[in-house]
Structure 1
Amino acid sequence: MTSKGNNVQLNAEIRDDFTRASRREIRQNGGLPAVVYGSDTESIPVSVNLKETTKLFHTGRSEVFDLNIKGSDSVPVLIKDVQKRDGKVVHVDFLHISMNKTVRVSVALDYQGTAKGTKTGGILQIQETELEVEGLPGNLPTSIELDVSDLDIGDKLTVADIELPSGITLSASGEEVLASIIIPRAVAAGTDTDDDASTEEVKSSVDQ
């Protein structure tokens, strides 16, 4: 994997053998079976270097890079899907894109800060770790940062709280909860017990 200008370059070779034995041999030699597909082009079976491809997983699936197919042209792609077996990556799908056409991809949510409510016994509960966004490939964020510092017990962070880059839209409802600060069950149960005890004491006082 190399860089040319601002674009990361990943080398690939076309596959012409689709047997299970062939795929196994590719993996044993440090490769990874893959497919390049797009709405306007036929699917192209390829193989890539596993180690070099794995590095791209850390930058997110909205990272555009050039796939240099041996004996063919270089094409701009996104990682569309990663297939695993027993915790190991065994196949990857690349989406051949046009820089002038919008695409929809999943982007990781990066929660930043320490929630205020966690300092008084609350727990940060995260409901979503990624969201689908839509926009031109060159405008796609690699992740979406969300600051949870001001969240107190009972507060919620929703899709409506997200500030998106210009030209990027979300498919999720603005009311969808991404994270919240909740009271631990044990604490909540203890509070209920105390309330019940107080009620019984009041009742006893009235009866007397």
Structure 2
Amino acid sequence: MKSITINGSKRESVGKKATKALRNAGQVPCVLYGGDQPIHFAADEIAFKDLVYTPDVHTVEIDLKDGGKFNAVLQDIQFHPVTDAILHIDFYQIFEDKEITMEIPVHTKGVARGVRNGGVLRFNLRRMRVKGLPGNLPDFIEADITPLKIGNKLYVTALKSDDYKIMHPDNTVVCQVRTSRNVVALEDEEEEGEETPADEVPATEVDQKENE
């Protein structure tokens, strides 16, 4: 997973008055948790641009002047209700030998067969919550939707990996192809009359109606 470096400095005072002064100076007050004790620091608001205003996820290297370097992930963020300015950010320190839980974006690969026939692809889950070692977590999870026909659903079980554990129930739907007004009925002749045992149907094509 890609990493972004945030340069900052430790905060000597954490009171309301000091916090307001930081914000007026264009800085964001932050706290790093997960270590022996919380570390209060601040950094320029522009430094968080590539971390906050993006659909991608990153780990963070927090480089504090006279305070050391720490690897972390963004845990929580507060915005101003009117201006959307960043008011406060919480980070959580990570270690290479300890698993962490993160939400990883899902990227699709290919064009679903059902979409080519007039269906519409609907996303139920654009990010997946996964758990694993920091070095094993990907920038995104790729979902091959090419075989999906109209009515088919792609379940999280089709996206399992040995590198991380998916923290969603097996019957969670990632995406599905729904019918639309402009449906073209196209079936390969070789598929007509063929039946596949239920236990051999791939995870992308099993419609678990009892879970709907």
Gaps of 5+ in 1: 1-5, 189-208
Gaps of 5+ in 2: 183-212
Do 2:160 and 2:166's aligned partners in 1 also have CA atoms closer than 8 Å? Answer: no
Do 1:80 and 1:105's aligned partners in 2 also have CA atoms closer than 8 Å? Answer: no
Alignment coverage as a number of residue pairs: 178
Counterpart in the other structure of 1:27: 23
Give the alignment's TM-score, normalised by structure 1: 0.75
1:139 aligns with 2:139: no
Letter in 2 for 1:75: F
Do 2:108 and 2:143's aligned partners in 1 also have CA atoms closer than 8 Å? Answer: yes
Counterpart in the other structure of 1:179: 175
Closer, same or farther in 2 for the Cα pair 1:118/1:25, shift >3 Å? farther
Q: How does 1:86-97 map to 2 (within 5 A)?
A: 86=81, 87-97=84-94
Counterpart in the other structure of 2:192: none
Runs of 4+ in 1 over 4 A off after TM superposition: none
CA RMSD of aligned residues (A): 2.4
Deviation (angstroms), 1:71: 2.0
Percent of paired sites with the same residue: 24
Bigger fraction of residues in strand: 1
Q: Give the SS at the match of 2:106.
A: strand
Q: Give the SS at the match of 1:17.
A: coil
Give the alignment's TM-score, normalised by structure 2: 0.73
Deviation by residue 1:97-141 (Cα, 9 ceiling, x = unmatched): 111111111111122333222233322111111111111111111
Q: Matches of 1:19 and 1:130 in 2, distance apart?
A: 36
1:102 aligns with 2:113: no
Deviation (angstroms), 1:54: 2.0
1:169 aligns with 2:201: no
Do 1:33 and 1:48's aligned partners in 2 also have CA atoms closer than 8 Å? Answer: yes
Q: Matches of 1:92 and 1:140 in 2, distance apart?
A: 22
